[in-house]
């Protein structure tokens, strides 16, 4: 008997009709002799509505109560899914996180799963039942309900696959796999049959919404193969696996972009040890993530210009923290929040010369100016003006023959 985790995202359970459709997929898997654990997200739009409810009361809504509120969406879906399965002849029941329990560690709204009790669920599976578990949540050692961040149902599915030692983890969504770019914006984007954990981690962290990056990281650390499939078609999906199992025909696997970035530049900063730390320490303490960092030292070696990027929603707070920091001396500060980040990703880039040149030349041919650059072994990211985003993605897609 094969033990599987089947995870259904918000669009896959976005209506009663879709929940019933997903239940039929589960029934088919169960009738094939598989032992099934189902993980569900909240119905599409539910979490955003709950957030709006909290904000209508207070912009600083208590985080403990916010977790209780937001996790209710997945609990509703769990009950509906278990009810739908029972209605079509599949013995099923929902298990709340505190009933298993799923133990988490960390702050409210950003906890992580550290363990769970497998006995009750395994006993139920051995009796032929299907277990339905809400994603995105757990319970702290002190007994509080905790959430594990937006998109956390993916992380729940991977954690269950690890702890329950399942044979596979299948992520059902509204697309039939991982694409070389956003198929809604780039019609010629191609579905990728196989992709490495490292490439998927880069793509998900750069804006690809197929899987949460922390879930990909967990799968990579624990070597858990993942299948990304469509709930609405029977076409073969994308396999996310270790690098040695991937056949690389192209240096670049995909082009990702995000349009929620801001670029901040400090001009005339004193060039001395500890200055960069003084700039970024307050940002770190206030949970502001810094992405790209570029430093240009003047010819006399006394002054430097420092540029960094952060999420657009954090830019105003970052500027306020810098202005209030008496340790930092600079001449001027500029902020541009009309930028986007374009990235090419591919494990084959390591062994293929000329990728950087091709990327920069192709953007230059479209008269697209590069404002900042960041590289790693399998990724090159650039910051450009936001209004040129789709034009740049299409050009890079053609340049690296991803159409």
Q: Measured between alpha carbons, how far is residue 283 from residues 109, 291, 340 in Å?
A: 19, 12, 21
Look at residue 359 and tell me if it is in a domain.
yes
- Per 3-state DSSP, the chain is made up of helix, strand and coil in percentages (nearest 5) of 35, 30, 35
Look at residue 233 and tell me if it is in a domain.
no
Look at residue 153 and tell me if it is in a domain.
yes
Q: How many domains does the chain have?
A: 2
If you average pLDDT over residues 334-347, what whole number do you get? Answer: 93
Structure-token match 């306020």, residue found? 320
Residue ending a domain, among 116, 148, 174, is: 174
Q: Are 149 and 286 within one domain?
A: no
State the burial class of residue 64 (Cβ atoms within 10 Å of its Cβ: 0-12, 13-18, 19+).
middle
The DSSP element (H or E) to which 241 belongs, if any, is: strand 238-241
Structure confidence at residue 271 (pLDDT): 80
Nearest to 179 by CA among 191, 187, 171, 188: 191
Pinpoint the alpha helices (H) of 164-289: 197-205, 213-222, 275-285
Q: Are 9 and 129 within one domain?
A: yes
Look at residue 52 and tell me if it is in a domain.
yes
Q: Are 156 and 260 within one domain?
A: no
Relative to beta strand 130-134, strand 35-40 is: parallel
Q: What confidence tens digit (pLDDT) does each residue in 28-82 have?
A: 999 999 999 999 999 999 999 999 999 999 999 999 999 999 999 999 999 999 9
Give me the domain span that covers residue 154. 3-174
Q: Measured between alpha carbons, how far is residue 56 from residues 16, 285, 311 in Å?
A: 28, 27, 24
Q: Are 129 and 270 within one domain?
A: no
Of 125-139, 284-298, 327-341, 379-393, give the lowest mean pLDDT range.
Answer: 284-298
Look at residue 54 and tell me if it is in a domain.
yes
263 touches 383 (CB < 8 A): yes
CATH code of residue 155: 3.40.1160.10
Q: Are 267 and 382 within one domain?
A: yes
- The SS3 of residue 149 is coil
Q: Supply angle C-alpha 114, 117, 121, rounded to 5.
A: 130
Residues of the chain above pLDDT 70, percent: 97
Q: What confidence tens digit (pLDDT) does each residue in 154-199 have?
A: 999 999 999 999 999 999 998 889 998 888 888 888 899 999 998 9
Q: Are 7 and 151 within one domain?
A: yes
Structure confidence at residue 152 (pLDDT): 87
CATH code of residue 281: 3.30.2130.10
Residues of the chain above pLDDT 90, percent: 69
Q: Are 263 and 162 within one domain?
A: no
Pinpoint the alpha helices (H) of 113-179: 119-126, 152-163
Q: Encode 221-241: b = buried (16+ Cβ within 10 Å), e = exposed.
A: eeebbbbbbbbbeeeebbbbb
Look at residue 236 and tell me if it is in a domain.
no
Q: Are 26 and 164 within one domain?
A: yes
Residue ending a domain, among 151, 174, 197, is: 174
Q: Are 169 and 286 within one domain?
A: no
CA of residue 229 relative to chain centroid, distance: 16
Q: What confidence tens digit (pLDDT) does each residue in 280-331 have?
A: 999 999 989 898 888 877 666 678 889 999 999 999 999 999 999 888 888 9
Residue ending a domain, among 119, 144, 174, is: 174
Q: What are phi and psi of 50, to 5 degrees?
A: -65, -40
Residue 183, token pair as written in the block = 């198929």
Q: Are 264 and 358 within one domain?
A: yes
Look at residue 235 and tell me if it is in a domain.
no
Look at residue 220 and tell me if it is in a domain.
no
Q: Supply angle C-alpha 110, 181, 347, rounded to 5.
A: 80
* d(C-alpha 394, C-alpha 403), whole Å: 9
* d(C-alpha 238, C-alpha 180), whole Å: 11
């Amino acid at each position: 008997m094969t033990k599987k985790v089947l995870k259904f995202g918000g669009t896959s359970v976005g209506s009663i009709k879709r929940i019933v459709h997903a239940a039929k997929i589960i029934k088919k898997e169960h009738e094939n002799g598989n032992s099934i654990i189902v993980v569900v997200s909240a119905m599409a739009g539910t979490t955003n509505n709950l957030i709006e409810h909290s904000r209508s009361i207070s912009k600083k809504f208590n985080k403990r109560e916010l977790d209780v509120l937001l996790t209710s969406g997945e609990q509703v879906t769990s009950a509906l899914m278990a009810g739908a399965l029972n209605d079509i002849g599949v013995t099923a029941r929902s298990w709340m996180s505190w009933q298993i329990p799923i133990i988490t560690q960390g702050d409210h709204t950003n906890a992580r799963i550290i363990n769970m009790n497998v006995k009750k669920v395994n006993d139920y599976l051995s009796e032929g039942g299907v277990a339905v578990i809400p994603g995105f949540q757990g319970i702290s050692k002190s007994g509080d309900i905790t959430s594990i961040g937006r998109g956390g149902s993916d992380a729940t599915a991977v954690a269950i696959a690890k702890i329950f030692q399942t044979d596979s983890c299948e992520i059902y969504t509204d697309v039939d796999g991982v694409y070389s770019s956003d198929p809604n914006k780039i019609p010629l984007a191609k579905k990728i049959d196989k992709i490495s954990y490292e490439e998927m981690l880069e793509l998900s962290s750069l804006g690809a919404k197929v899987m949460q990056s922390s879930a990909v990281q967990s799968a990579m650390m624990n070597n858990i193969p993942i299948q990304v499939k469509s709930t609405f078609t029977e076409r073969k999906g994308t396999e996310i696996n270790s690098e040695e199992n991937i056949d690389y025909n192209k240096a670049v696997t995909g082009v990702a972009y995000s349009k929620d970035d801001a670029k901040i530049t400090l001009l005339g900063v004193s060039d001395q040890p500890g200055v960069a730390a003084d700039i970024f320490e307050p940002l770190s303490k206030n949970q502001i993530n810094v992405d790209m960092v570029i430093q240009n030292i003047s010819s006399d070696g006394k002054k430097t210009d420092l540029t960094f990027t952060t999420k657009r929603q954090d830019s105003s707070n970052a500027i306020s923290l810098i202005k209030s920091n008496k340790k930092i001396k600079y001449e001027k500060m500029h902020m541009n929040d009309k930028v986007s980040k374009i990235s090419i990703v591919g494990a084959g880039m390591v062994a293929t010369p000329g990728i950087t040149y091709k990327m920069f030349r192709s953007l230059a041919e479209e008269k697209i100016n590069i404002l900042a650059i960041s590289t790693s072994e399998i990724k090159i990211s650039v910051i450009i003006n936001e209004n040129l985003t789709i034009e740049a993605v299409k050009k890079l897609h053609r340049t690296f023959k991803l159409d």
